[in-house]
Amino acid sequence: MADGPTEPETPTEAEAGQVPREASAVVTRAASLGLAGVVVCLAAFSIFGAYRMQTQIARAQHEESLHASYARAIIAIRAEDSSVVEYLLDPSLENRTAMDQATYALIDAINAIEVHGGDADSQLAKSVMSVHDRYVAASTRLVAAVVIGDPAEARRIELIDAKPVFDAMRSQIDAAAEARAAAALAAFAEVQATARWLLIESPVVFLIGFSLLFGLWRILEQSHRAARETYREIAQLSKLRSEFVSIVSHEFRTPLTGIQGFSEMMRDENLTIPEMREYAGDINKDARRLARLITDMLDLDRMESGRMTLNSEPVDLNRIVAETAAQFRLNAADHPIELELDTRLRELVGDADRLTQVVTNLLSNAIKYSPTGGAVELRTERAEKTVVLTVTDHGMGIAEEHLEKIFDRYSRLETTETRAIQGTGLGLPIVRQIVQMCSGRVWATSETGRGSVFHVELPLMEAISQGPSAAA
């Protein structure tokens, strides 16, 4: 473990989570726009369909009513013709009135065509009216010839003047009525085609539209969930930051207060050389503690961000355990350290310094959290493909619900017993990171008031991976 602190490395934007959040905002905006776009398209499609249907129905109705006017005109022509014949056979006042009424009915029908029809209809109406005028004049002359008793003249007028004019008028109206009937049929066919198109196309269009809406809604829901997750992470980070600030300020202040106090005494008081040495030793101890704290923080940060790599070298775990225990024995009179090392253990491939850090942190905790003393046992045991290291103490123990949480950063268990014990909440997270980088796993079992056992399982022959694994 290095004593001096290293410069912290600034996290990149990607590490700080900026890019994913921006990307998610872009996705949300795009999905919302897409959603609005699909709704507008569906609405436009419906309005277009309804408008097209409506205009085609109006056109068909118009053609139909025009055709009806022509049909009325044809009926009126026939009626006028037969009323003239009836009057010639019986020139009574009654027949005269019927003849006039038939003439007015025809004029009304022709006027209706002129008013409701287009340019061609009005042209035709004008032409029919002028032919009709000639027909009326011929009929009048015909009636006069009949009245004065000149059948030869009457016959001549009928054949030469009245009949051709009547036939011309009638054929004009017949042809136009036929054209109108065809136009009305075509207009209704168009209405039918549009109705069929709407019936077949609109379910497809709406199906595609609703599928798009559903897809976009799912995207929005996912980004909403991602946003909620981000907020949750931010809240958690904020909580961690507060914990970090309070723990770090407390842990930094304690050694700093010692350094400040001892150095002031050395400056202001007349101390003997042995006293000076003693205070300098205390200052050195506090300074080393500060350095260790900073190193731990930076180590954990580098491991968690994947910026730390491990050495791959042959490692004798039994030797590491024995040497670490020997170091601790020098200052742990109340805690006899007992070893039970499996001699069948072959060498692992690993990073000796980091594995020493694992054993040191676990052994240091076993001693720290057994304030009333008690033996600490270190055991190694070889299994088929793994080796398991256990560190057992007989201290205060850990409540079951905290057995996972203690491996989280800065998670110190606050009890009356632990309050007096110095710590940063970084020892176990570092242990877990190193063990995971060695493709192993670590866990704890414990009984409150009776002690704890920390288990570290490492693969025997496998080379140590360079990044944290999902194990443990």
Give the footprint of ligand ADP on this chain (CB under 6 A): 361, 365-366, 369, 393, 395-398, 406, 412-413, 418, 423-429, 452
Q: How many CB atoms lie within 10 A of CB 313?
A: 13
Which SS3 state, helix, strand or coil, does residue 467 take? coil
Q: How far is the CB of 36 from ligand ADP (least distance, A)?
A: 51
The helix, strand and coil proportions of the chain, stated in percent and rounded to the nearest 5, come to 70, 10, 25
Query: In terms of CB distance, is 69 or 433 closer to ligand ADP?
Result: 433
Q: How many CB atoms lie within 10 A of CB 450?
A: 11
Q: Which of 354, 320, 350 is nearest to 462 (CA)?
A: 350
DSSP string, 399-436: -GGGTTGGGSTT-----TTTTTS---S-HHHHHHHHHH
CA distances for 209 relative to 28, 55, 206, 221, angstroms:
19, 26, 5, 18
Q: How far is the CB of 323 from ligand ADP (least distance, A)?
A: 21
CA distances for 275 relative to 241, 281, 335, angstroms:
41, 10, 29
- The Cα–Cα gap between 169 and 301 comes to 105
Q: How far is the CB of 394 from ligand ADP (least distance, A)?
A: 10
Query: In terms of CB distance, is 139 or 446 closer to ligand ADP?
Result: 446
Q: How far is the CB of 352 from ligand ADP (least distance, A)?
A: 21
Structure tokens at 382: 């070889």
Query: In terms of CB distance, is 158 or 296 closer to ligand ADP?
Result: 296
Q: How far is the CB of 466 from ligand ADP (least distance, A)?
A: 24
Query: In terms of CB distance, is 135 or 369 closer to ligand ADP?
Result: 369
Query: In terms of CB distance, is 395 or 468 closer to ligand ADP?
Result: 395
Query: In terms of CB distance, is 130 or 422 closer to ligand ADP?
Result: 422
Q: At what angle do helices 317-329 and 352-368 cross, to 10 degrees?
A: 40
- Supply the DSSP symbol for 449: T
CA 257 from centre of chain: 53
Query: In terms of CB distance, is 426 or 434 closer to ligand ADP?
Result: 426
Q: How many CB atoms lie within 10 A of CB 252?
A: 15
Q: How far is the CB of 410 from ligand ADP (least distance, A)?
A: 8
Query: In terms of CB distance, is 117 or 397 closer to ligand ADP?
Result: 397
Q: How far is the CB of 408 from ligand ADP (least distance, A)?
A: 8
- Asked whether the beta carbons of 409 and 425 are under 8 A apart, the reply is yes
Q: At what angle do helices 93-116 and 18-89 cross, to 10 degrees?
A: 160
Q: How far is the CB of 431 from ligand ADP (least distance, A)?
A: 8
Query: In terms of CB distance, is 195 or 453 closer to ligand ADP?
Result: 453
Query: In terms of CB distance, is 352 or 366 closer to ligand ADP?
Result: 366
Q: Which of 220, 221, 231 is nearest to 17 (CA)?
A: 231
Query: In terms of CB distance, is 343 or 416 closer to ligand ADP?
Result: 416
CA 392 from centre of chain: 50
Structure tokens at 160: 């030469």
Q: How far is the CB of 244 from ligand ADP (least distance, A)?
A: 13
299 contacts: CB under 8 Å, gap ≥ 6: 308, 430
- The Cα–Cα gap between 139 and 131 comes to 12
Catalogue the E-assigned strands of 288-428. 313-315, 337-340, 348-350, 376-382, 386-392
How far apart are the two ends of the chain, measured CA to CA in Å?
Answer: 24
- The Cα–Cα gap between 325 and 455 comes to 17
- Supply the DSSP symbol for 454: E
Query: In terms of CB distance, is 75 or 472 closer to ligand ADP?
Result: 472
